[in-house]
Amino acid sequence: MINILTVVGARPQFIKAAAISHVIKEKYSHQITEDLLHTGQHYDDNMSGQFFSELNIPQPKYNLGVGSAPHGAQTAAMLKGIEEIILSNHYDGMLVYGDTNSTLAGALAASKQHLPVYHVEAGLRSFNRSMPEEINRIVTDHLSSLLFAPTAKAVQNLRNEGFPEEDIILSGDVMLDNVLHYSPLSSFHSPLSTSILATLHRDFNTDHTERLTNILSAINSIGQAFNTEVLLPLHPRTKQHIDSITSKPDMTHIHTIPPLSYLQTLAALRQARLVLTDSGGLQKEAFFCGKPCVILRPETEWTEIVDAGAAILADDSPSLILDAAKKLWSTTPPASSAFGDGHAAEKIIEKIL
């Protein structure tokens, strides 16, 4: 029996971990056991707790409760807590997801204790090292024993950086697994009706008042142009930054609400005609659900979506954001096999075994 420690800390990771936890429970429980460690990076119930019950994944065996802090302090607290758990238990490997501080801390703690690291979503590159996520994903890849790349481009990025071919696995994307698995359930979790769904959470946007103001102004202009309210679920940090703006932009066409659960997000996507986001995960979920997307960043790790004509990079420019929204309003993204066949989790577990 193989015993795996899975480290998560942010809501996108709970969703990704659900795909693999579900497959372990359904098909591999006689071969592999999994303990879940929640760092507490997202610590309120709207940002974490409800995901475990909603997605029917085990409650975490460990919760470090680190909460919000500057990058260095947060990562250090996670590293200390994860190392203590590794030293007091026997594990055969560690699963980490994506590009958060929780991902980096888990990979560092495991590698220092000679515990194999399995990185799901390996090989992603925005080629913008000013973003902390970019540093996290590069370092995590270099600490990992198995690199589970979701797309052919991610595989090529790893090859370009000289990773051993035998460590690179084209697995497909576990988020596609989840959209296919959970979409039928989402019809019972309808949020407020909306034709435009927006999210905004990256430090790159929220921590710079000029960028935040530009994007909020653009979102409001889009709502005005299409005579609708844009639904904007707010990450707690984003709300704090908006509240702190002294000269607030017009937000009369924006309807802000608390964060949505995963099933509520899928339900909102089913209703929406257009998505505006700086989230890597929501870009893909929009694509999987056949919805066009305006990306509120200057670059994306998921270039496959842009190449398919399903998304436009608009950064924080109000004019570019509005023009992109108008161009995409009547667009239906094409179907694509770039992200696999919906069985990524099974491929990942088979390779670990």
72 CB burial (10 A radius; 0-12, 13-18, 19+): exposed
| The pLDDT value given to residue 96 | 98
Residue 43 predicted with pLDDT over 70: no
**In this prediction, what percent of the chain has a pLDDT beyond 70?**
96
Query: What residues does each domain of the chain span?
Result: 2-170, 185-328
What's the average model confidence in pLDDT over 75-96? 97
Please state, rounded to an integer, the average pLDDT across all residues of the chain: 93
User: What is the pLDDT, as a whole number, of residue 252?
Assistant: 97
Token look-up 């066409």 returns: 253
Mean pLDDT score, 59-84:
92
Three-state SS letters, 107-173 = HHHHHHCCCCEEEECCCCCCCCCCCHHHHHHHHHHHHCCEEEECCHHHHHHHHHCCCCHHHEEECCC
pLDDT digits (tens, 9 = 90+) for 10-37: 888 999 999 999 999 999 999 999 999 9
- Give pLDDT, residue 139: 98
Contact yes or no for 251/273 (Cβ under 8 A): no
Query: pLDDT tens digits, residue range 189-222?
Result: 666 778 999 999 998 899 999 999 999 999 999 9
Sequence-distant (≥ 6) Cβ neighbours of residue 155 within 8 angstroms? 123, 149, 168, 170
- Residue 110: per-residue pLDDT: 98
Give the model's pLDDT for residue 3: 98
Per residue in 290-319, pLDDT tens? 999 999 999 999 999 999 999 999 999 999
How many CB atoms within 10 Å of residue 230? 26
Return the pLDDT at 54. Answer: 82
| pLDDT recorded at residue 46 | 52
**Residue 220, token pair as written in the block:** 């409001």
Which residues is 295 bridged to in the sheet?
277, 313
pLDDT confidence of residue 196: 97
Q: Please confirm, yes or no, whether 119 is among the known catalytic residues.
A: no
pLDDT of residue 58 exceeding 80, the answer is: no
Spatial CA neighbour of 273 closest among 258, 288, 286: 286
Do the domains 185-328 and 2-170 match in fold?
Answer: yes
Q: Considering the candidates 38, 119, 201, 241, report the single residue annotated as catalytic.
A: 201
**pLDDT class of 279 with cuts at 50, 70, 90:** very high
Per-residue pLDDT at 67: 84
Nearest by Cα to 46 from 247, 238, 296: 238
Give the pair of three-digit tokens for residue 84: 């203590």
**Span 185-328: which CATH code?**
3.40.50.2000
Distance CA(321)–CA(318), nearest Å, equals: 5
Average pLDDT value for residue range 112-118:
97
pLDDT value of residue 191 = 62
Signed CA dihedral, 267, 270, 272, 278: sign only: positive
Residue 329 has what pLDDT?
96
The pLDDT value recorded for residue 44 is 55
CATH superfamily of 2-170: Glycogen Phosphorylase B; (3.40.50.2000)
Confidence (pLDDT) at 147: 98
The pLDDT value recorded for residue 172 is 98
